Amino acid sequence: MLYSLLIEANLSEAARKAIEMQPGLVNFFSAAQRRNFERGRAEGKAEGETKGAAAALLKILMRRGLAPTAEQQRRILKCADLAMLERWLDRSLSVSSVNELWASPKTASRRVHRRGQPVIANGRRRPQGALTR
């Protein structure tokens, strides 16, 4: 194990990449190397998913004619929270401006229903002519 670690540490970057591309290399890893390899794979997968979701979000916004500003694009591209990006993706299908992506659920519950009737906090429509508190 010590010899393989010494050899690996002294390889050039190109040689290290060539060895990493070899199929079945994982079979020769120690338990610690295997854990690190799997952790790195999971991190890479998560990073790829967030970048893909951010790119999809920007594409949807652009196709809907909601061009984000440079600051809004930066905010979307820097987001590393996949769950948040997925919420923004869902919202991107119905918002009328990019700023609405970041509206809190409380604010969203005050929006007007499609038929022009205000929606109250518990989700029921307020009857026409009803007084508000």
Give the lowest-confidence range in 73-82, 87-96, 105-114. Answer: 105-114
pLDDT by residue (tens digit) across 51-67?
999 999 999 999 999 99
Residue type, 133: R
Q: What is the pTM of this model?
A: 0.58
Q: What are phi and psi of 125, to 5 degrees?
A: -80, 140
Helix or strand run (H / E) with residue 53? helix 31-63
pLDDT by residue (tens digit) across 96-129?
999 998 887 555 544 544 444 444 444 444 455 5
Residue bearing tokens 């659920």: 105
